[in-house]
């Protein structure tokens, strides 16, 4: 444990130091990390809600932990939920217990603010640190993958914007307030905030409808070593008709294959969710579960009500702040 380290609330005079730590830790492909941090924490949707803490060694900022308001519904009613966001520790001050002190201080503030649930999606190497400090790894999101066009990486072509809509042209299907359990509340205000800090990623939408209902697929383009992947971040529908969801996903897959742009498609979700319609649609359309997971952790501060039942959480990979 480092002596002399103080935990304090973030002040705007610390902005440059925090941004420098962000750049060192994440090395983002774009250089304007200042704009990213401002849009993430100081957008009108978050500015009066989020919690930002710093660790100070004298006057020097050596740690940062952010908590973002994240609108989950429980049986159609919005809860006061926060998500653990950016964790930054100066390289010369790691392994000194700074993260634990930031976390405990943040939890105390959450309790004072009557936050109901604290959630997070930590990477493997810090998962146990959260568990040792009172958060539960209630469930994991499982990745499912489908091969589309193995030779697509050889094709130099524009992506599929003429077929798929971009965020700015789409009105997301709002979560039905009659849905059972815990689910993300995709309001327009929430999505506009997310759009503001996600401009360096390429997101696409596909909407399918017939007489049975509407299905909307929120997708992200991911390119690694010239291998193009389409990640299905979320599947929203206004119906639980399993056959309709299977058919809607089938139509999307046919379009993706016809365009011959992506090598494979992937989707991560909570396979334990009580409504198996989306999982069944993935399996029916040839998606295979792989040995890769996204950890989901939570801490119940004042909710109760079966919060640790994994079958009540509808979760997709786009429920993560910067998926």
Task: With beta carbons less than 8 A apart as the criterion, state whether 315 and 179 touch.
Answer: no
pTM of the model: 0.89
φ, ψ of residue 275 in degrees (nearest 5): -90, 110
User: Which homologous superfamily is 5-138 in?
Assistant: Gcn5-related N-acetyltransferase (GNAT) (3.40.630.30)
Q: What percent of the chain is modeled with pLDDT above 70?
A: 88
Going by pLDDT thresholds of 50, 70 and 90, the confidence category of residue 247 is very high
- Give pLDDT tens digits for 160-197: 555 576 665 566 665 555 578 899 888 888 888 988 88
Per domain, the residue ranges of the chain are 5-138, 141-294+305-318
User: Does position 245 have pLDDT exceeding 80, yes or no?
Assistant: yes
- Would you tell me how many other CB atoms lie within 10 Å of the CB of residue 177? 12
- Give pLDDT tens digits for 9-51: 999 999 989 988 888 887 766 556 567 788 889 999 999 999 9
The predicted model gives 257-278 an average pLDDT of 92
User: Does position 140 have pLDDT exceeding 70, yes or no?
Assistant: yes
183 forms beta bridges with 73, 314
Cα(222)–Cα(150) distance, integer angstroms: 15
Which range is most confident: 177-191, 230-244, 279-293?
279-293
Task: With beta carbons less than 8 A apart as the criterion, state whether 133 and 38 touch.
Answer: no
Cα(17)–Cα(14) distance, integer angstroms: 6
Q: Minimum mean pLDDT among 146-150, 296-300, 304-308, 319-323: which range?
A: 319-323
Cα(268)–Cα(280) distance, integer angstroms: 13
At 186 the pLDDT is: 82
Question: Beta strand pairing status for 81-89 and 60-69?
Answer: antiparallel
What does the mean pLDDT of the chain come to?
87
Cα(72)–Cα(81) distance, integer angstroms: 6
At 108 the pLDDT is: 94
Expressed in percent and rounded to 5, the helix, strand and coil fractions of the chain are: 30, 35, 35
At 170 the pLDDT is: 62
- List the alpha helices (DSSP H) in the chain: 15-26, 33-41, 98-112, 124-132, 188-197, 242-259, 277-284
**Which value, in Å, is the radius of gyration of the alpha carbons in the chain?**
20
The predicted model gives 297-309 an average pLDDT of 88
């Amino acid at each position: 444990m480092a002596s002399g380290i103080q935990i304090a609330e973030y002040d705007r005079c610390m902005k440059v130091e925090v941004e420098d730590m962000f750049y060192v830790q994440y090395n983002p492909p774009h250089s304007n990390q200042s704009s990213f941090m401002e849009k993430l924490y100081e957008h009108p949707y978050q500015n009066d809600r989020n919690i930002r803490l710093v660790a100070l060694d004298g006057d020097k900022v050596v740690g940062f932990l952010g908590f973002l308001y994240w609108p989950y519904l429980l049986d159609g009613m919005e809860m006061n939920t926060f998500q653990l966001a950016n964790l930054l520790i100066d390289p010369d001050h790691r392994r000194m217990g700074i993260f634990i002190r930031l976390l405990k201080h943040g939890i105390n503030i959450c309790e004072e603010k009557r936050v109901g649930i604290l959630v997070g999606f930590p990477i493997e190497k810090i998962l146990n640190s959260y568990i040792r400090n009172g958060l539960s790894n209630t469930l994991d999101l499982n990745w499912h993958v489908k091969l589309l066009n193995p030779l697509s990486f050889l094709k130099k072509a524009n992506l599929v914007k003429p077929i798929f809509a971009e965020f700015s042209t789409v009105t997301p299907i709002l979560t039905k307030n009659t849905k059972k359990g815990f689910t993300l509340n995709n309001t327009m205000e929430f999505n506009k905030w997310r759009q503001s800090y996600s401009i360096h990623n390429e997101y696409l939408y596909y909407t399918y409808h017939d007489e049975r209902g509407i299905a909307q697929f929120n997708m992200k383009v991911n390119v690694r070593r010239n291998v193009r992947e389409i990640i299905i971040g979320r599947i929203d529908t206004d119906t639980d008709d399993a056959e309709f969801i299977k058919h809607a996903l089938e139509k999307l897959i046919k379009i993706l294959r016809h365009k011959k742009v992506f090598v494979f498609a992937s989707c991560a979700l909570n396979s334990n969710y009580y409504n198996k319609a989306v999982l069944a649609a993935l399996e029916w359309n040839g998606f295979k579960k792989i040995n890769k997971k996204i950890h989901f952790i939570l801490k119940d501060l004042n909710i109760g009500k079966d919060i640790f039942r994994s079958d009540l959480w509808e979760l997709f990979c786009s429920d993560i702040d910067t998926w």
